[in-house]
Structure formats: C-alpha cells, structure tokens
Amino acid sequence: MGGLKAWVLVAASAGSQSAAAPVQMAQAYPSPKPAYVAQPSNPFDQYKLYLAARARRAGVREATIQAVWPYLTLNERAMELDRAQRPYAPSYSTSLPSFGPYINRHITSSLINRGQARYSAHWGNLSRIQARYGVDPAVIMAIYGKETSYGAVTGSFDLLDALASLGYEGRRRAYFEDEFLAALKLLDQGVRRYQLKGSYAGATGYPQFMPSVALRLRADGDGDGYADIWRNEDDAFASIANYLRDAGWKRNVAWGVPVRIPATLNRAAIQSRVAPPRCPAVYRRHSRWLSVGEWRALGVVPTGRTLADHEQATLMETPGAYAQAYLLTTNYRAILDYNCSNFYAMGVGLLANAIARR
C-alpha cells in the first residue's frame, strides 16, 4: 500500500450542495465522491477520505464523522497481528487430536469457581433471561468466562483505529470496512468512543461481539431500557442469549451428552456425506445426523444426562478427553456459530456443566 497514489479534486467548500469533483484512487478501493476537504498527505489519509465517503453513503451522521476523522490513526500492531493469521490449509489426516490438553489448559479450577460464584450472584436475572430466550444460563456464563475471563480481559485496542487499519491493509478489506461502518453506527446510537475498545480484530465488550453483531443483537438484560455490553454484565448475558437464540438455540435441550460406543459400531455407515460451506475441518469430526432413538438402536447410549429419543444428534469422538464420545445437538452448533472450533465449543459445554455442577 506504501506506493499508492491518489489525486483528490476537492469540492469548492465543505458545505456546498453541488456535486464534489471526482476522486481517482487505486483500483484496490474505488471510491464514491467524497465531501472531505482536507488534502491527504499519505496513503492512509487518502484511504480515510474513501472511508468518509462510504460512511456518508451509509447514513452515518456528519457530526460523528467530523468527531472521529481528525483522530483516526493507523494501527501498525493490529496489522502485524492480522498478518500473523495464516490462512486455513485443510488437512485430510484421519487422526483426531485429543481434547484433553486443551480442556486441562482452558477449564481451570479458577475459571470454574469464578463462574459458579457469578452464576449464583446473577441467578435472578439469569433465570429471567432463560425464560425470555430459552438459553441455558450456564452456557451463557461459560461463554462469558471463555471470551473475557468474566470481564477481566476485554481488549485494549481502539476499535475504530484497528478496523480502519485492517481495512487499509486489505487482507479482508470488505469485511473490516463493514465492521468499521457498524462501529460508527454504534457511535450514532450513543455509544461513547472510549467504550469502543476490544481485540485487534474488532471484538468488543463482555460478549466480544463484532460491531455489526452488537448493532443487531445486543440486548437489555436488567430492564433499564439500554443494552450496555461494555459495563453491564446482565446486559452482556442477555446479549449472549440473544445471539445463541438467533443462531438456532432450542429451548430445554442439552448441548450434548457423553455416550458409550459399542465395539461393533460401523463408523463408515454413519459418516457424514455433507460438504459444509464453512469450517470444514470442524464438521469433518461429526457424523451424520440421527435421532437419539436411532443412536440407541446402534448401541450408542448416554452415560449421564440423556436426550429425548426424537432429538436429532450427531456423534463426535474425542480421544483423550473426559469421555470417549458425545452426542451433540443443534445447540452445540449454535455454540459453534459463536466460534467455529470444536475445542472452543466443547470447552464451553464442559465449563457450563461444571458451573452448573452437573
């Protein structure tokens, strides 16, 4: 991007209603006509002109644009961390890595004990949230614990700087530009700039929502009429529940149960033939869907909590973890929607069980 050249023809005045002169920019991000009047001195300033034009076109208030743009700076650290993310390279190995080391590292006694304490302290609101959204409150608490260590680690990057920088860098330009615009719309809704802190990639607040998700799904959990996912835990709990419900969470159904597998199980017969459109390595570990009754007929039997015979479930074996295998419901898929990783989803499920003392 360092060699980018742009020629900006500026409108006669910032307040003029006449059409601004066109902007000729590198093909990397063709721009609509900006109304910005500053002559950019470097490529990132040129990119800021383009973002300002996009923001206006998206309906962001001019007052918000004028308050943000003078202070919008390039965040080299965010770009460095993004470059370190390697693209997914599928592996077709038949070996299945153990969940054991991950579980031992990520479901600690500290995380369990703190989760149990918050679970008890917030039970009044958690039970109301469960009645409203139908989501297991222990899973809500487990996601809160996994995402931010119960609010202790929410990220310190300025979201607008980070998202603008990642858009400028260009690895996933369209995605980060859309998230940048969503963050501006949060400002338009009254969120304060200092609250928009988070991860280098833009996740923010107690639930670690991307700005577009925060715009769509943050929810009021304490009845005060405002959904504050940055400072209010009950609002964060309601927002996580709203997310999971939106992802397809089914009321009164466990995320999964450990099962005993017979030596005679024909694994080739239960192999999934579906090619998933996303996260193929994640879903490759899952069998095809059968009803719990059909699994019982195959000798796959729950060893603790159970599921109704009519529930659909998929089998995932977890060598080295705390059970040989699990039947997983569509609620497990809702957790995967939050973070598409079997390690993450299994960690959330097992932490939830520990928090609820199951």
The 3-class SS string of the chain reads CCCCCCEECCCCCCCCCCCCCCEECCCCCCCCCCCCCCCCCCHHHHHHHHHHHHHHHCCCCHHHHHHHHHHCCCCHHHHHHHHCCCCCCCCCCCCCCCCHHHHHHHCCHHHHHHHHHHHHHCHHHHHHHHHHHCCCHHHHHHHHHHHHCCCCCCCCEEHHHHHHHHHHHCCCHHHHHHHHHHHHHHHHCCCCHHHCEECCCCCECCCCECHHHHHHHCCCCCCCCCCCCCCCHHHHHHHHHHHHHHCCCCCCCCCEEEEECCCCCCHHHHECCCCCCCCHHHHCCCECCEEHHHHHHCCCEECCCCCCCCCEEEEEECCCCCCCEEEECHHHHHHHHHCCCHHHHHHHHHHHHHHCCC
pLDDT of residue 23: 33
pLDDT of residue 29: 42
Report yes or no: 334 and 244 within 8 Å, Cβ to Cβ.
Answer: yes
Q: In CATH, what class is 99-152+228-251+333-358?
A: mainly alpha
Spatial separation of the C-alpha atoms in residues 94 and 300, rounded to whole Å: 22
* Residue 91 burial (CB count, 10 A): 9
Q: Which long-range contacts (CB under 8 A, 24 or more apart) does 179-182 make?
A: 179/210, 179/211, 179/212, 180/51, 180/211, 181/54, 181/55, 181/58, 181/60, 182/210, 182/211, 182/212, 182/214, 182/215
Reported residue count of the chain is 358
pLDDT at 2 over 80: no
Measured CA to CA in angstroms, residue 221 lies from 126, 209, 217, 351 at distances of 9, 16, 12, 22
Q: Please state, for a pLDDT cut of 70, what percent of the chain lies above it.
A: 84
pLDDT at 11 over 50: no
Least confident of 2-6, 34-38, 209-213, 334-338: 2-6
- Confidence bin at 1 (pLDDT 50/70/90): very low
Of the candidates 43, 93, 97, 37, the residue with the CA atom closest to the CA atom of residue 65: 37
pLDDT at 288 over 90: yes
Spatial separation of the C-alpha atoms in residues 297 and 300, rounded to whole Å: 7
Query: Domain ranges in the chain?
Result: 7-81+158-188, 99-152+228-251+333-358, 256-328
Q: What is the mean pLDDT of residues 156-166?
A: 98
Residues with Cβ within 8 Å of 152's Cβ and at least 6 positions away in sequence, in order, are none
pLDDT of residue 96: 56
Gyration radius of the chain over CA positions: 24
pLDDT at 268 over 90: yes
pLDDT of residue 183: 98
Q: What is the mean pLDDT of residues 321-342?
A: 90
pLDDT at 28 over 50: no
pLDDT at 322 over 50: yes
Measured CA to CA in angstroms, residue 253 lies from 129, 310, 329, 331 at distances of 16, 11, 8, 7
pLDDT of residue 20: 31
Mean pLDDT of the chain: 87
pLDDT at 10 over 50: no
Q: What is the mean pLDDT of residues 40-48?
A: 87
Question: What b/e readout covers 232-255, taking b as 16+ CB neighbours within 10 angstroms?
Answer: bbbbbbbbbbbbbbebebbeebbb
pLDDT of residue 97: 64
pLDDT of residue 38: 53
Q: What is the pLDDT of residues 175-184, one digit of tens each?
A: 999 999 999 9
Q: What is the mean pLDDT of residues 71-96?
A: 73
pLDDT of residue 319: 67
